[in-house]
Amino acid sequence: MRIIRTVDYKDMSRKAANVISAQVILKPKSVLGLATGTTPIGTYKQLAAWCAKGDVDFSQVSTYNLDEYRGLSHEDVQSYHYFMRTNFFDHINIDLANTHVPDGSNPDADAACREYDRMVAEAGYPDLQLLGIGRNGHIGFNEPGPYFSKGTHMVNLTESTIKANSRLFDSEDQVPRQAYTMGVQTIMYARSILVVANGEEKADAVYRMCYGPVDPQCPASILQLHTNCTVIADEAALSKCPRA
């Protein structure tokens, strides 16, 4: 793993945006794996600003998001379809037909997951996969468990994840209890991985990801085995990690 320390969230966002923009500039038809949550919002804003200036062109890019809540329509303001449009896609020159998010509105979990696996495989898997990390070490919605997951699947969200995500809802009771997510194996198929993290509340998870044993109880720890993984995090998130 390559670990890049940043002074704060703004610095983290800019450096992460630099990595993604370089990927798109060098390969205009890049396949990007994208993440939701509050951590990557600054990165998306920076990329949108550079796109508006003509510094980066997303017109030939295709994207595949990690996950989606089960049971929400694409137009629901809490859905990740809606999140990606309002925080990124509506602000760049991407063809919306080339953007993909698991279909949380499909109640048939097996069918929804099989179809998403098919699409990601046909795209050749991401050239670059952007990840955040949960406080319990989850990536996507792959929660701690007895084994590392494979393909896209339905998950029951843990109480810690529900509580963490409740800040985006009017109340904790409104947070969906299930989601569809790319599996860990699918994530590892990406040719490069970029993890962003900020804040002291992520320090334990970041340490376990980078320096702990490779253990499905911390799903992000599998990234130690990837051949091209970069972690960009602020001082607070790296506060428990040794300095290089």
> Which residues are the active-site residues?
67, 136, 138, 143
Instruction: Using CB atoms within 10 Å of the CB of residue 31, give its burial: 0 to 12 exposed, 13 to 18 middle, 19+ buried.
Output: buried
User: DSSP secondary-structure letter at 170?
Assistant: S
**DSSP states of 99-164 as a string?**
EE---TT-S-HHHHHHHHHHHHHHTTS-SEEEE---TTS-BTTB-S-SS---SSEEEEPPHHHHHH
Report angle CA 198, 200, 201 to the nearest 5 degrees: 95
- Looking up tokens 């792959």, which residue turns up? 142
On whether the CB atoms of residues 218 and 148 are closer than 8 A, the answer is no
